[in-house]
């Protein structure tokens, strides 16, 4: 295995009109590691995730995957690399059922001629959906209802389950526990650890400090579009981390 980290982003810049969402952001995550990416509202966390997921094109910066420079210029390429994302807005199709959402963009087709004509293998997909969500411990209440009818927490479980089911190298989770109750949050945290234990890198974004300290192997703090500090949870305190988020504590100067 190479010594280079799994994914490294260097000096990423992204501007939306007058807003500079990312001003030279650095970020790093390794195999089998949970990195908590935290920062105040508007710090640029979601923007960074979208850049690394290939759905937003950065204005500048470099991205290394397995030490190799890569261009993450469309979501299909990124997904083919084994990178999955739980977006903050979930990015589910509310009118489709859980199975259609789990397989969206990578539908299983019927074998033979029918498959070549684009016929869906609905039975196989729905069976694998039940299996996947059962294994993930996601309490999906109905497999036949459009996901728009499910509760916010259940939809979040579906988005998390979808990412976890397909990821083979790296998962980004943008506030995956935001809408969840205590029990479901605990399950997601367990899931994060299980995914990590298979050697997959996990990037966990959350405003919930107890969750962050419970699950993270490392913490990276963003502030105003760039990395402000890096911590190990066992060598720091919530006070120090929060100070870094607010700018009261500065570890990394702008380069």
Partner 1 sequence: MSAPSQSAPQTDAPPPDIPEPGAGHPLLRLLTETTALIFVVLLVLVAVFSALRPQAFATVATATNIAIASATLLVIAVGMTFVIITAGIDLSVGSVLVFSSVVAVKAMEQVGGAQGWASVAAGVVAALLAGLLWGLINGFLIAKAKIPPLIVTLGTLGAALGFAQLITGGIDLRGVPRELVVSVGLGGLFGVPWLVIVALTVTAVAVVALRLTRFGRYTLAIGSNPEAARRVGINVDRHLLKVYAIAGTLSGLAGVMSLARFTTTTIAGHTTDNLQAIAAVVIGGTSLFGGIGTILGTVVGVFIPVILQYGFVIMRVDPFWQTVAVGIVLIAAVYVDQLKRAARERL
Residues forming the site for Mg ion (CB under 5 A): 45-46, 88
Size, binding site for partner 1 by CB under 8 A: 67
Which residue in 34, 37, 48, 138 binds partner 1 (CB under 8 A)?
138
Q: CB within 8 A of 31, min separation 6: which ones?
A: 1, 6, 169, 199, 200, 201
Interacting residues of 212 by C-beta distance below 8 A, sequence separation 6+: 36, 38, 204, 206, 219, 233, 241
Q: Least CB distance from residue 195 to partner 1, whole Å?
A: 6
Q: Is 118 in the site for partner 1 (CB under 8 A)?
A: yes
- Residue tagged 């910066």 (tokens): 61
Q: Which two tokens stand for residue 227?
A: 């990395």
- Both structure tokens of 183: 């029990």
User: Residues 222, 228: contact at Cβ < 8 Å?
Assistant: yes
Rounded CA-CA distance 86/32 in Å is 18
Q: How far are the Cα atoms of 105, 106, 113, 122 from residue 116, in angstroms, in the given order?
A: 16, 14, 5, 15
Does residue 105 touch partner 1 according to CB under 8 A? Answer: yes
153 binds ligand ATP (CB under 6 A): no
Q: Is 47 in the site for ligand ATP (CB under 6 A)?
A: yes
Among the listed ranges 35-43, 98-106, 125-133, 179-187, the one in contact with ligand ATP (CB under 6 A) is: 35-43
Comparison of 51 and 102: residue with beta carbon closer to ligand ATP: 51
The three-point CA angle 195-200-201 to 5° equals 105
Angle (deg, nearest 10), helices 152-166 and 182-197 = 0
Which residue among 5, 39, 153, 201 contacts ligand ATP (CB under 6 A)?
39
Task: Assess 45 for contact with ligand ATP (CB under 6 A).
Answer: yes
- Asked if residues 54 and 72 have their Cβ atoms less than 8 Å apart, the reply is yes
Q: Which stretch binds partner 1 (CB under 8 A): 9-17, 18-26, 70-78, 212-220?
A: 70-78
Q: Is 19 in the site for ligand ATP (CB under 6 A)?
A: yes
Minimum distance of Mg ion from residue 202's CB (angstroms): 17
Can residue 32 be called a binding residue for partner 1 (CB under 8 A)? no
The contact set with partner 1 (CB under 8 A) reads 53, 55, 74-76, 79, 82, 85, 87, 89-96, 100, 102, 104-109, 117-120, 122, 128-129, 131-149, 151-152, 155, 162, 164-168, 183, 187, 191, 194-195, 197-198
């Amino acid at each position: 295995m190479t010594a280079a980290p799994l994914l490294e982003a260097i000096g990423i810049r992204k501007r939306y009109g007058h807003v500079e969402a990312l001003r030279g952001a650095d970020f790093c995550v390794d195999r089998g590691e949970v990195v908590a990416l935290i920062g105040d509202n508007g710090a640029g966390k979601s923007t960074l995730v979208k850049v690394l997921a290939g759905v937003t094109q950065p204005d500048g910066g470099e991205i290394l995957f397995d030490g190799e420079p890569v261009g993450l210029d469309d979501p299909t390429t990124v997904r083919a690399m084994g990178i999955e994302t739980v977006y903050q807005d979930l990015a589910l199709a509310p009118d489709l059922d859980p199975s259609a959402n789990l397989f969206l963009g990578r539908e299983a087709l019927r074998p033979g001629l029918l498959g070549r004509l684009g016929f869906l293998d609905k039975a196989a997909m729905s069976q694998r959906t039940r299996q996947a969500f059962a294994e993930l411990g996601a309490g999906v209440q109905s497999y036949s209802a459009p996901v728009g009818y499910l509760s916010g927490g259940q939809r979040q479980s579906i988005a998390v389950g979808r990412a976890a089911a397909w990821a083979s190298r790296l998962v980004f989770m943008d506030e995956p526990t935001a809408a969840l109750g205590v029990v479901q949050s605990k399950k997601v945290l367990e899931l994060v650890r299980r995914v990590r234990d298979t050697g997959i890198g996990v990037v966990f974004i959350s405003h919930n400090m107890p969750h962050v300290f419970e699950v993270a192997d490392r913490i990276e703090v963003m502030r105003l579009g760039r990395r402000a500090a890096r911590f190990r949870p066992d060598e720091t305190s919530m006070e120090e981390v929060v100070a870094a988020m607010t700018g009261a504590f500065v570890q990394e100067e702008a380069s």
